Chain A
Amino acid sequence: MEFSIYDFSSFTAWIDQSLRAAMAPGWAIAIELVIIGVVILAFYALVGLFLIYAERKVCAFMQNRLGPNRLGPYGIFQTVADMFKLLFCEIIPIKNSDKVLFNLAPYIVIIASFLTLGALPFAKGLQAVDLNIGIFYIIAISSMSVVGVLLAGWSSNNKYSLIGAMRSGAQIVSYELSVGLSVITIVVLAGTMQISEIVEAQRWGWFVFSGHIPAFIAFIIFLIASTAEINRGPFDLAEAESELTAGFHTEYSGIKFAFFFLAEFINMFIVSGVAVTLFLGGWMPLHIYGWNGFNAVMDFIPPIFWFFGKTAFVIFIIMWFKWTFPRLRIDQLLKLEWNYLLPINLVNLLLMAFIVLMGWHW
């Protein structure tokens, strides 16, 4: 077996072959599924912990503070300690709540984000499943989380929660359109929905550069709309703490609250990952046509670092939004989508289709 950090496909193929050599194909696939599940679950928790730490540090520096700095060097174990605290936290039972839905809601939210991770390409060959409609799958699955949010708001028998859930419903349904349309703009440009091919198409120029102005507009709209879709500031109306105390998760405590909290951060990672895959070339290094020396140096950096580096950059921008802007009001939020983003997006899509039709995109 030869292992290379530049291409994981030989590594995964080796696992597959040795499993198939040892047992029946059905068993091999079952074990592979388990391995993928465990790896993604571990990755999920790790990214969640790291993002919570990163958010606390970033917001601290934006606010003239130090942030966590006691537990371990630079406070890196603070979130681990917080996780254990939440694990052992008492779950306060709620009277007159709809028990089944109340307990189900956090799992729906967390499963939606968990399933999405499976389709993200982290590096060359490091993708759990490469569907031929991969990007469609991501959009479809990630919007399932609104069901969990609505159920959480409805079942906790709290008026604040219900308002938060309704806001969240209206918000996600609206902004899903913009996310979808800006993704379609890129699908038109790439000519495929398969994520590995979208990344491959960006070998000689990331779409945000090579796709002319429509791709850039789509990138901006995607950033705005996806920030709204994951309920982060300045669009965090569903949990607007100065109005609705904590919105839809007001009544949740302990590990169930942690699920919502974790899912929010993972969703941030996912939308950043999707933005990177669609617009910033995914794991593809920065190549400039004709500069062979430069390209060779860029290729020397492993793809996995490219992916996480770019994702971190987008995540930082999303955090920057949150800690700078005040929150929108619900009617302004919907107006922004239906009056501005959606028309711009539709025109943008036509423009992109025209560019592709004329063959100006390569």
Chain B
Amino acid sequence: MEEQVKKIISDDEEYVINMGPQHPSTHGVLRLVVSLKGETVKRVEPHVGYIHRGIEKMTENLTYPQIVHLTDRMDYLSAHINNEAFCLTVEKALEAEIPERVKYVRTILSELTRIQSHQLFWASFGMDLGGLTCFFYGLRDREKILDIFEETCGGRMIVSYNTPGGLMNDIHPNFQKGVKDFIKYFRKKLPEYDQLLTGNVIFEQRTKNVGMVTRDEAIAWGMTGPVGRASGFSCDIRKHNPYSAYDKVNFKEILYTEGDTYHRYKVRMDEMWESMNIIEQLIDNIPEGPYSAKMKPVIKLPEGEYYQSVETARGELGVFIVSDGNKNPYRVKFRSPNFVHLAPLDLMSRGYKIADLVAISGSLDFVIPDIDR
């Protein structure tokens, strides 16, 4: 038995190290078994499941409004977008009329969520590459968004602000002013991010031409979000299959064709500018009206299969519900972007150095609870 295990993990020539489950650069309890030859990575074997909570199974015993709160706990940096994805699927199944106000507020909050997620990405990516100062700059500005969330949603990170049919509450009276102040503030601060990291020679050397993914590979492996778009795969759900208020705003889909670590970083930096543009178009035009559609006290979906996908900060999040007509779903499946991005990590990092492996896994921006669910 021991012989067998040895063979599976490595042959004797390889120098095998265990990155994780407790390791500073895996951003959580991800375990990477890395085979090395000197400093060069020969193979990466991701081991998942350290934080598996069985969210998809748990949903089968919960009602639809309850399930919304579980979706926060998957990709906790896109908590609001996850909520929205699930609520959109339920609303699609019920064919409910959703008030315009709800759509606008959801879109604004989604974009704020995207900005704060990318801020944290920038912060931790800098730290992965050894530039510790980035972390504090990123978190300083992220705090402002979390304050807006706290005021309106009640929660800072795990917001749970959506319910099937609308929102939990109306927005806080200070919401519009707070968001506008933040945008004004952040438009000044975002160039600082570039000054500190983007143009740096060491940073460019560390990231350019590292972890290449071609467009075909990105499509074949199902890579979406900033990772796919850096390889030239036009996959922005907001553009191609608009939901909420995305059909009412003008924005660019950020596309690069190089497909290396640097451009995955660049997509996220540009997306922060675009997100601010989207918010500015919506923030002054939030229509008056109810903050939630009239829903039945007990939500039962008609029998059938329903699917809706949204664009989270990391890629395409798909929610697939099979209903048998009860107040609980028969089966729920989440198509989470991080799990999909983990699979090609081996492909992307073979032949590069250990330091590159850290940069590549940093540029995929893993949130481990989203991988394990």
Contact = CB atoms under 8 A, between A and B. Distances in A.
Contacts of A62: 133
B372 interface: no
B136 A243 contact: no
Nearest to B135: A63
Given A326-B131, A330-B353, A242 B206 contact: no
Interface string B235-258: 000000000000000000000000
Interface string B19-40: 0000111000000000010010
A326 B17 contact: no
Contacts of B58: none
A240 B130 contact: yes
B360 to A, nearest CB: 12
Interface stretch (B146-154, B175-183, B196-204): B196-204
A167 B354 CA distance: 12
A159 B136 contact: no
A327 B135 CA distance: 14
A96 interface: no
Contact-residue bracket for chain A: 20 to 34
A234 B355 CA distance: 13
A324 interface: yes
B131 A332 contact: no
B140 interface: yes
A86 B44 CA distance: 37
A326 B355 contact: no
A242 B353 contact: no
Interface in A224-276: 233-234, 236-237, 240-245
Interface in A300-339: 323-332
Contacts of B205: 328-329, 332
B202 A243 contact: no
- Which among A63, A242, A332 has the greatest number of chain B C-beta atoms within 10 A? A242
Contacts of B25: 242-243
Interface in B107-140: 126-133, 135-137, 140
Contacts of A328: 202, 205-206
A316 to B, nearest CB: 15
A221 interface: no
A245 B30 CA distance: 15
B129 A327 contact: yes
A234 B129 CA distance: 10
A23 B61 CA distance: 92
Contacts of B355: 237, 240, 243, 327, 329-330
A65 interface: yes
Given A65-B136, A243-B358, A326 B197 contact: yes
B370 interface: no
Contacts of B136: 63-65
B138 to A, nearest CB: 11
B24 A245 contact: yes
Nearest to A329: B355
Interface of B: 15-17, 23-25, 36, 39, 126-133, 135-137, 140, 196-197, 200, 202-203, 205-206, 353-356, 358
Interface of A: 59, 62-65, 159-160, 163, 167, 233-234, 236-237, 240-245, 323-332
12 contacts: A59-B132, A59-B133, A63-B137, A237-B355, A242-B24, A325-B202, A326-B202, A326-B203, A327-B202, A327-B206, A328-B206, A329-B206
Given A163-B354, A329-B353, 13 more contacts: A59-B133, A236-B130, A240-B130, A242-B129, A242-B130, A324-B133, A326-B126, A326-B200, A327-B130, A327-B131, A327-B355, A329-B355, A330-B355
